[in-house]
Amino acid sequence: MKVDNTKQCVCGSCTASSIIWSIIGGIISGVLFYLGYITAVTVGIWVAFGIAAFSLIFVLMSVFFSSCSEECAKFTHCLRKSLKCLLIGIIGTIVLTIVALSISLAEGNAIFAIIVGLVVLFFIILISTLVNFLKCVMKQA
């Protein structure tokens, strides 16, 4: 049964500001890691991996259970709008954290700084998309 959504959600999942902030955050973190100002990067990478893994489980369970009834139509609407960017952030974060954890990261190496910067880029995309998704769900309620 298709339910009309009376409160149209205008919040996008991949907004230009979230992409720009993720690029800026990735560049800043890569430069700071290259210069040696971020030393305990492995802990942050493990945290990013854990959040991405739990987000993947949340998205998979949400997709599986989202077609239940009329009450879920609003949730499904927001999930459909955010799914592409959520998956981009989740898969990018998981793949790059696995790459970063499988090698020994050393400061002063440009390749490792790029990997750390890409991890932060995808993680910021993931977090900003999750926030926009939750904002959309709350606006629909």
Helix (H, G, I), strand (E, B) or coil at 66: coil
Chain segment 86-104, per-residue pLDDT in tens: 999 999 999 999 999 999 8
- Cβ atoms < 10 Å from Cβ of 90: 26
User: 47 falls in which pLDDT band (50, 70, 90)?
Assistant: very high
pLDDT classification of 3: cutoffs 50, 70, 90? very low
- Predicted structure pTM score: 0.86
Q: Provide the pLDDT for residue 117.
A: 95
Confidence of residue 119 (pLDDT cuts 50, 70, 90): very high
**CB burial string 29-65: b at 16+ within 10 A, e below:** bbebbbeeebeebeebbeebbebbeebbeebeebeee
The domain spans of the chain are 16-140
